[in-house]
Chain A
């Protein structure tokens, strides 16, 4: 059973601070990683995806991927209260029938 583990379970950061979220897959066949953000009462929205080793930056958000360890991390700099949400990591294999497997999420609270 493919599992995606996220840490920490919850995180509180001050406004303007850096939030760092982690995610690891236990399935060696995983090839693609996504980060979704889900505000309370809303549907998940895709934030960033990463498929190759290394780093990808979009505005205040940076994701890293280490394929050897199947570990990805999401870093949010200059965190804002509007970033408070559930952050979900998801992974899938290379088969065209592959489905996303989601982690249990990290609940981020950015406090003024």
Chain B
């Protein structure tokens, strides 16, 4: 069982609907990452946080995606207006601080946009 808890496991949304997923990082891990894994197994980095602050995010995240990691609450990733191309596995990972720290991944949220 993963120490990073993601909910829900599956999410089905219509185009234009909001899609929200949550992540509880491993205890003691201040850095949280969101990745999108498509059907070709390609990983796309979306955003990362250290504690509550955004470190880096890609353009896609800045426009339709929003994310936060409030203190004492789960982190979340929300797609404001879902598109068919957003259908993918969304993986949350956490790590200790430091470039040589490995990631612990959650089980993912599989989003299907119909």
Contact = CB atoms under 8 A, between A and B. Distances in A.
A46 interface: yes
Interface in A39-53: 42-46, 49, 51
Interface stretch (B62-70, B78-86, B99-107): B99-107
Given A92-B99, A97-B56, A99-B33, A42 B41 contact: no
Nearest to A31: B99
Listed residue (A42, A44, A92, A95) with the most chain B CB atoms within 10 angstroms of its CB: A44
B114 interface: no
Interface in A13-37: 31-32, 34
| Residues of B in contact with A, size category | 20 to 34
Contacts of A88: 41, 43
Classify the secondary structure of A's interface with B. Answer: loop
| Residues of A in contact with B, size category | 20 to 34
Given A43-B106, A44-B105, A94 B45 contact: no
B100 A102 contact: no
B55 A97 contact: yes
B99 A32 contact: yes
Interface of A: 31-32, 34, 42-46, 49, 51, 86, 88, 92-102, 104-105, 107
